[in-house]
Structure 1
């Protein structure tokens, strides 16, 4: 660590060049890779009046001689926050490419848009699925993070390329987007307050009282509020069409991890009901790894969803009134549960350096749908077996899978099971959307 980093007096303004050196020294041992020259290299722009470092907004001050500086204490605070982050390089989140990019409201004021920037920088012209060659000599950072050093490119089926980042980096960049949104909102509030200084005294006092509800750019904005089921029983198709609703979602903390700001509204794709506002990281964690519309690989993160965090995730999935009333899960989740839990004893193992390890990668596909449970069949298979021995492990009818899940739920999460079932319809909407219709006209007792 340099002498400047050790002896600097916190609270003093320092030039941008010194801030670059200080940031590099303070984050040299961080698990998250940081870039050099973050205060002076794009996308940093001193004229904006701030810079994002991790999930912190560091203000910039322009002196009378036209030079820019930053408070040393804020740089140190941002570095300390980044150094406290633990990162597991194997816990990856897919960041693209996707068929469509979620559009944000025009008035959100978010400038980072890190997913769009990453997509734009890794794509070659005319080839949306191919990553561009990396130029390590060119500074490239987002919120002070050198994301290229941890970007993972994977190829599936010999053609389709996908890009992944560690979950810790995704959480940091999502938090940076949210912090920037709040900072800009606070700045506009302060500017609007300054405009009314010529109004009568009683008007100025009223506006001043309102402005105190949101801190200025020097301090944090209005704190996020925990989600307490305010959107329970509502349809996503209705809420998503309301103007400015994405900005309202960002006012909650993620209902799953309860630490990161919410960015999306998680909902049940089968029944249409809203579950809760969640952050991008948690939204990707609970999403099955689809290969095709009726074929998924059971990713390793399911061991957390169905083991260490079972009760919490089941409560989240059962925020959908349809799933809760029928004591089940959406078909992709039920299929993943069937492959990972119900068929665990059928999965072969192979000798490895640390004893024996499960064979290959689980994959589950299905024919039919939950709308016709008599004809819906789940097929559990093993891909990438080292010896090429194993393919199909089991074929489980939908009804059997649903019954096994109910039994497992009652044993594993009795409180969640007690709150579910056909007699738990008190909080369903007065006119619920038809949830599941058995088109065969038979077997309605299942539901």
Structure 2
């Protein structure tokens, strides 16, 4: 622990400089890299009454002499929560840039909005200046996390570049952004009901140097509730047009991971029904990797969807009445399942240091649509295979793919299969809906 940290002071308050040093000391072995100026460098604004550390809000109070301070115990709690986060550096989520993403005003005093902050900073910095910053220039962080050390930049055709962060960090920053928003909203409500407004502090009571007690609004995550099918059978096109829907969505916890706050309404793009409110991380994991409108790459995250957390994802997809009644999946997901599961034995392998390894990249395309099952055909291929750049593994008719999926579903997730079937067609549209475009857009917007 740094010498500047002096435990035992009145009420355990320490200066912001001391809190910076303590934060770095406590998180030195964390899987998520942290910044050295979490309390004193932008976007931290202690005068706002709080500082974000990971997904936790840490209150700031004015001590004697007008100096801003924080409770040492709260810094330690935030560090312990961050140290418990496990991060897979290979499990990446694209965070930008996205075409058509809404532009935010350049105002450093606004809320975290971490995606916009990263996009703005990387777009404005030149290559040389970016290198100087990365090597130790002006410090910058997000909720105490040094995002520069884990940002992955990918370039295509020497012009288009994309930015990626580990999924664990994306989920952590999403929670931080949601927590801050709810905290500020609660603080404003508290101030409106108080004759003399005071800066928000931690939910636990704290005392300033004069001995006066300050109490905070209700904890920001206290009102999150589990999703229990309240939106079942409702159409996304209807809900997205109703005022107050986004506020209602923000009150739920993600229906898939059940840990992060929900931020978007996931819906079936073929039948139009809402599935459930989910967090940005799960929404990204669920989205197929389209190369074209009828062509997708079967990325590594499908191993998690169909091998690791299978029951949860199948149950989530079957929240759509159309998919549940027909005991199938939306066409892109069914195509990915066919390539990843049904054609697994057909994929070529090559020698690797630890046995044999599947080679190339799986890709599946289709002709026709699920609206004309007799003419719909799935073509599974391997790109960049040593034995052929675009080697075709199989051509599977849509109806055969559906039947294979039904058999696999009954064996893999019998509870999900038992809740599906052709006897549950009540309330479905008389005619199939056409494939619905991805209305969530490149910017991963709420609606």
Q: TM-score range by the shorter chain?
A: 0.7 to 0.9
1:83-135 per-position Cα deviation (integer Å, ceiling 9, x unaligned): 1100000011111122233799xxxx9711111111111124899xxx96561
Distance (Å, rounded) in 1 between the aligned partners of 2:86 and 2:275: 28
Partner of 2:382: 382
- Given the superposition, is the C-alpha separation of residues 296 and 233 from structure 1 closer, same or farther in structure 2, using an over 3 Å criterion? same
Range with bigger deviation, 58-67 or 348-357: 58-67
Q: How does 1:28-39 map to 2 (within 5 A)?
A: 28-39=28-39
**Helix, strand or coil: the match of 1:194?**
coil
Partner of 1:177: 177
Distance (Å, rounded) in 2 between the aligned partners of 1:373 and 1:409: 20
- 1:369 CA displacement: 1.7
Structure of higher RCO (CA pairs closer than 8 Å, 6+ residues apart) = 2
Contact kept, 8 Å, 1:56 with 1:176, in 2: the verdict is yes
Distance (Å, rounded) in 2 between the aligned partners of 1:437 and 1:46: 52
Distance (Å, rounded) in 1 between the aligned partners of 2:84 and 2:246: 29
Q: How does 1:152-163 map to 2 (within 5 A)?
A: 152-156=152-156, 159-163=159-163
Partner of 2:133: 135
Distance (Å, rounded) in 1 between the aligned partners of 2:364 and 2:298: 7
- The answer as to 2:71 corresponding to 1:71 is yes
1:260-315 per-position Cα deviation (integer Å, ceiling 9, x unaligned): 11111111111110000011111111111112222111111111111121111100
Where structure 1 has 5 or more consecutive residues not aligned to the other structure, the ranges are 198-214, 439-447
- The answer as to 2:432 corresponding to 1:435 is yes
Partner of 1:336: 336
Distance (Å, rounded) in 2 between the aligned partners of 1:6 and 1:286: 48
Partner of 1:14: 14
Partner of 1:272: 272
Partner of 1:445: none
- Given the superposition, is the C-alpha separation of residues 27 and 334 from structure 1 closer, same or farther in structure 2, using an over 3 Å criterion? same
Partner of 2:242: 242
Partner of 1:51: 51
Distance (Å, rounded) in 1 between the aligned partners of 2:261 and 2:75: 22
**Helix, strand or coil: the match of 1:123?**
helix
1:23-43 per-position Cα deviation (integer Å, ceiling 9, x unaligned): 111111110011111111111
Q: How does 1:34-433 map to 2 (within 5 A)?
A: 34-63=34-63, 65-101=65-101, 111-124=111-124, 133=131, 135-136=133-134, 137-156=137-156, 159-195=159-195, 216-217=216-217, 219-386=219-386, 388=388, 391-426=391-426, 428=427, 432=429
Contact kept, 8 Å, 1:121 with 1:132, in 2: the verdict is no
Contact kept, 8 Å, 1:184 with 1:217, in 2: the verdict is no
- TM-score, normalised to structure 2, is 0.85
- Given the superposition, is the C-alpha separation of residues 221 and 300 from structure 1 closer, same or farther in structure 2, using an over 3 Å criterion? closer
- 1:241 CA displacement: 1.5
Distance (Å, rounded) in 2 between the aligned partners of 1:59 and 1:196: 18
- Given the superposition, is the C-alpha separation of residues 10 and 223 from structure 1 closer, same or farther in structure 2, using an over 3 Å criterion? farther
Partner of 2:204: none
**Helix, strand or coil: the match of 1:59?**
strand
Contact kept, 8 Å, 2:20 with 2:37, in 1: the verdict is yes
Distance (Å, rounded) in 2 between the aligned partners of 1:55 and 1:352: 40
- Given the superposition, is the C-alpha separation of residues 10 and 63 from structure 1 closer, same or farther in structure 2, using an over 3 Å criterion? closer
1:58-88 per-position Cα deviation (integer Å, ceiling 9, x unaligned): 1111235222111111111111110110000
The number of aligned residues is 412
Partner of 1:211: none
- Given the superposition, is the C-alpha separation of residues 342 and 102 from structure 1 closer, same or farther in structure 2, using an over 3 Å criterion? farther
- Given the superposition, is the C-alpha separation of residues 254 and 437 from structure 1 closer, same or farther in structure 2, using an over 3 Å criterion? closer
RMSD: 2.8
Partner of 2:205: none
- Given the superposition, is the C-alpha separation of residues 399 and 11 from structure 1 closer, same or farther in structure 2, using an over 3 Å criterion? farther
- Given the superposition, is the C-alpha separation of residues 68 and 7 from structure 1 closer, same or farther in structure 2, using an over 3 Å criterion? closer
Distance (Å, rounded) in 2 between the aligned partners of 1:95 and 1:76: 29
Partner of 1:209: none
- 1:324 CA displacement: 0.6
